[in-house]
Amino acid sequence: YAAGNPAIGQRLSTTCAACHGASGSGLNPQYPNLAGQNFKYLVKQLTDFKDGRRKNAIMNGMTAKLSAEDIDHLAAFFASQTPRSATGDQRLVKMGEAVYRGGDFGRAVPACMACHAPNGVGNAPAGYPRLGGQHAEYVVSQLEAFARGTRDNDPNQMMRDIASRMSEQQMRAVAQYIQGL
């Protein structure tokens, strides 16, 4: 890791465990899994919540009192945890796989794997998030937020452009595929 001490991060993470699980994999599908997420992406999101660029009432509150060092430690801890994967809805995974691996030419939707990797691990040096094993319900909520513009913390707005061209069914299908990756 670039910085951060996972052992200190683990101690700081006790307040996160109720929603994200003690090792970064929780049961409530509204709360994202953090286990194995890349350090750079975690630091960016926590800083964006703290500074109010990414808006979520719970997380804006949770990060308000964290220092930059706390954020590094927490990110190092969650990045070091082993991610879990679940099964997706088999009626939707085939369509989801097609979108993930090939995009949709007609809608100018690019293949997700170009940035999030064929196996869903993301791209750690670039800070592109791991998606593999993420709760489908959370993934759909974020795709809708990107499409509506309510999640607009990324200055490049890559996901806004992509999500706004996807159908609701494509979002649901790709989320089921991602959950099983």
What residue ranges bind ligand HEM (CB under 6 A)?
A: 15-16, 18-20, 30-32, 34, 42, 44-46, 56, 58-59, 62, 74, 99, 109-110, 112, 114-116, 128-129, 131, 139, 141-143, 153-154, 158-159, 162, 174
Closest distance of CB 20 from ligand HEM, Å: 5
Query: Whole-angstrom Cα distance, residue 181 to residue 174?
Result: 10
Query: Whole-angstrom Cα distance, residue 37 to residue 116?
Result: 12
- Of residues 91 and 127, the one with the C-beta less far from ligand HEM: 127
Q: What angle do CA 141, 33, 97 make, to 5 degrees?
A: 60
Closest distance of CB 94 from ligand HEM, Å: 15
Q: Which residues pair with 109 in a beta bridge?
A: 104
Closest distance of CB 168 from ligand HEM, Å: 13
Contact between 50 and 66 under an 8 Å Cβ cutoff? The reply is: yes
Closest CA to 8 of 62, 60, 67: 67
Q: How many residues does the chain have?
A: 181
- Of residues 91 and 170, the one with the C-beta less far from ligand HEM: 170
- Of residues 20 and 72, the one with the C-beta less far from ligand HEM: 20
The pair of three-digit structure tokens given for residue 111, joined into one six-digit string: 């293949």
**Helices (H), ranges, 52-135:** 57-63, 68-79, 93-102, 113-116
- Of residues 93 and 139, the one with the C-beta less far from ligand HEM: 139
- Of residues 1 and 128, the one with the C-beta less far from ligand HEM: 128
Closest distance of CB 176 from ligand HEM, Å: 11
Closest distance of CB 90 from ligand HEM, Å: 19
- Of residues 57 and 90, the one with the C-beta less far from ligand HEM: 57
Closest distance of CB 38 from ligand HEM, Å: 10
Closest CA to 177 of 117, 75, 74, 100: 100
